[in-house]
Structure formats: C-alpha cells, structure tokens
Amino acid sequence: MIEAAEKIISCFVSGMANYQSHPGDPRSFSRDVEEALGVIKSLNIEHFFTITVSDENSMFINGIRMLLGKSDARKFFLKLRKKGVVTVVVSKGVRAEELQRFLEDLASSVGFFHSYAHIAVKRSEQKPRSDIFTPGRSLKDDYLQIRRIYSDISVKGHIEMTAVDAVMGRLIANVREEVGLLSLLVPLERDVDDLYIHSAKVAMLSILQGEHLGLGNALLYDIGLAALLHDVGKTLLPPALLDKQDPLSEAEWAVMKNHPVYGAGLLASLSKIPEIAIIVAYEHHRKYDGTGYPETRIRRRKQHIISQIVAIADFYCAVSASLPHRKPLSHTSIMGLLVETAGKEFNPLLVENFVRAMAKGKSGAETMKA
C-alpha cells in the first residue's frame, strides 16, 4: 500500500509541475493523471481513498503515515498545507477528468476548489475569505480578458481555464467589496464590445444573488462562470445582426433566437466546462412558467435554478442598458417589472432575494439615470 501511495503522490506532483509548465494544455499532464488513476484502481479499494494532513506536520494516506523526507511527498504535503487542505477523499468511480481538474485547482494560484462528483476536499476553516478572492486589475481589463475568452471558445474551440479562474476570482471579490456592484449601476465607457460588458455585468449580478443566498465559493464560481458564458452563442451570429442599431425584424429575431442552442453546442464541445454552464447557455431565455425560447417538447419543464438566477441578472442588465432605439429603464422601474412578473417569467423567491441583495447597493442604484 505504501509503495502505491508514494506512486500516486509522485504522479500528482509531476502532473502539477507539468500543468504549471504548460497551463491550459491538458495533454501536458494527462499521462500523469492516467497513471495515478491506474494505481488507484489497482488498489481495489471498496469505497474511497483518503489523504489527511494533520496539524503535527504529518500526512496520512488511508491511515498510513507518509515519510515527508522524500521529495515528492514533501512537495505534495506543502502544497496541501498552502491551500489550507486538511482532507481529500477520492471515491470509487473517480474519472480522469476529475483528477485532472483537482490537480489544476491544487496547482493554480487561485485559492479555491471546484466541485467534483467523486472527490471531496475539506479545507481549514481558519483561512480568511479575503485570501481566497482578492480584487485585482480594473474591470476594464476583465472585459478585455472576457473578449479573449469568448474568441478562444468560438474561433479556436479552446478555453484557457487559468485566465477564466483569474477573471472569476476578481469578479467575485469585486462583488463582495461592492466595487463591481456599484459599477453595474453607473454608465460605462463604450470602449469595449457591449457583449462582453453585458456578460461581466450578468456574471456579477448572478454572483451577487448567490452570495446573498449564502452559497459557498465553489458554487459561486460555477454560477459566475455559467453567467459569464451564457451569451457565447452570439459569437456565431452574423456581426451585422449584433451591431444593428435599429430594432430587429421578425426574420432577424428568428436568427437571434438561435444563440442559446449555438452557445450550448459550443460549450458542450469543451472538455473542462461545468455542465451547468451548458445548461444555462441553453436555458437563460426560458421562463419560470415554461415559456420562452428555445421551445421544448415539455413546455412545463422548469429551468434549472441557476438558469433562473442568471435569467434575472440578464433581464436587469438588458433593460438597464442604453440602446439607440431604446432608453434604459431606471433601477426602480426594473425592480417593479421583476416583482410584477414574478411567478410567471421569474422565480418569485429568487426575485425577492434579488431585490434584497440589490438594496445593499441602493446608494449606487440611485445614481442610475432613467
């Protein structure tokens, strides 16, 4: 058992090193992941494989104390300690892509972990939240980065998760600091594409709702990422359609309504995208009562709750934006419309949560022009 454990740790350490040398390229450490997975499976463990870090500078694997004098064991131990990890439980049935994402999270500079179906990560409760997400560059820089992310997805069929993690960390931090919230409620310079401004706004308002619901960091990340990419399907629409200054014709609207299907298809082709991002891309124009688009055979099929969160944020950002053929609605008017359509277009409980969450930004909201 101890030899197998040492081999797994060596694969993990090698995988993290290769990931850091070639970030964004899963092939760089896929061999390490497959080798580690093979060793784990060979152990024929009935239920799970557990790694524990103790306060006495010790690390145990399935109860066996590892010798930290060995280079790889010490490197892995120090990485876990740096991330505040006290326990890792790998359940039977773990897949290569889960191990790969876990190692990416462990190796990255971002201080949080995603959710995995067969891997549970417990962290020390003493780690301050401010250490996990810290405001970084300006929001304008994030808009430009979002444009690059969209381009990579639509043109190259690739997503650079290191860049995504950095953007998401800053957006979450900005919402918590109310920096992002206030910026949503005042005019922005029109020096970057509206699609990317809109996507960042929807992401921040979706994160705000999740934060007000008391959701954890991993779920906030998934909500924010799904919201950030909800309109990626628009990159496959004719540019003239997106740039049109006048209201769309009926035929043009028919084309525009394809973007949820296009977006879901784009995201489904990527290996590292959480499934919820695909669902939200497809469902964000569905409504709480089962109407909306794309139309489904089962009309009463409910949106996923995260799609419902993103739909509220998307509506707020859409009608608060200034367009050549339409004046923006005031904060008060938008809130009134949300309350009026709650139970039909939007989840009434989530509308109530959104109203309360936005009330914290009242001072910023009052600066918004009708």
Do 101 and 193 fall within a single domain?
A: no
Query: Residue 90 belongs to what H/E stretch?
Result: strand 85-91
Q: Which of 106, 127, 148 is the last residue of a domain?
A: 127
Under the banding of pLDDT at 50, 70 and 90, the label for residue 130 is very low
* Judgement on whether residues 83 and 196 belong to the same structural domain of the protein: no
Q: Would you say residue 308 has pLDDT above 70?
A: yes
Give how many domains the chain has, as a whole number. 2
Is residue 223 included in any domain, yes or no?
yes
Q: Where are the alpha helices (DSSP H) in the chain?
A: 2-21, 30-42, 71-82, 96-107, 139-151, 161-176, 179-184, 194-212, 217-228, 239-243, 250-256, 259-268, 275-283, 305-320, 331-341, 348-359, 362-365
Residue 243 belongs to some domain of the structure: yes
CATH number at residue 310: 1.10.3210.10
- What residue type is assigned to position 205 of the chain? L
CA-CA distance, 2 to 9, in Å (whole number)? 11
DSSP code string of 55-79 = TTS-EEETTEEP-TTSHHHHHHHHH
- Assess if residue 133 is contained within a domain: no
Predicted local confidence at residue 41, as pLDDT: 84
pLDDT of residue 280: 96
State yes or no: pLDDT of 183 exceeds 60. Answer: no
Last residue of a domain, one of 76, 100, 127: 127
Report the pLDDT value the prediction gives residue 168, as an integer from 0 to 100: 87
Q: Could you read off the pLDDT of 24-83 as tens digits, one per residue?
A: 666 778 899 999 889 888 877 666 778 888 766 788 887 788 887 778 888 898 888 888
pLDDT at 133: 43
263 vs 170, residue with greater confidence: 263
Clarify whether residues 147 and 98 are in a common domain. Answer: no
pLDDT at 115 over 90: no
* Residues 18 and 165 occupy one common structural domain: no
In percent, the amount of the chain with pLDDT more than 90 equals 28
- pLDDT higher for 161 or 149? 149
Q: Which two tokens stand for residue 189?
A: 């310079």
Identify the weakest region by mean pLDDT among 106-115, 271-280, 312-321.
106-115
Alpha carbon of residue 325 to chain centroid: 33
| Whether 258 and 297 share a structural domain | yes
- Same domain for 306 and 217, yes or no, is yes
Residues 235 and 305 in one domain: yes
Looking at per-residue pLDDT, the higher value among 361 and 229 belongs to 229
Looking at the fold, whether 119 and 205 belong to one and the same domain comes out as: no
Q: Is 132 a domain residue? A: no
Residues 39 and 150 in one domain: no
Rg of the chain (C-alpha set): 22
pLDDT of 330: 87
My answer on whether 210 and 237 are in the same domain is yes
Listed residue (95, 84, 77, 91) closest to 30, CA to CA: 95
Cβ pair 39, 11 in contact under 8 A: yes
- Residues 66 and 79: their CA atoms lie apart, in Å, by 15
- Do 295 and 354 lie in one domain? The reply is yes
- From 127, 159, 186, give the residue that closes a domain: 127
Q: Distance between terminal CA atoms of the chain?
A: 68
- Supply the range of the domain harboring residue 114: 2-127
Judgement on whether residues 198 and 123 belong to the same structural domain of the protein? no
Q: Which of the two residues, 368 and 70, has the higher pLDDT score?
A: 70
pLDDT, greater one: 297 or 68: 68
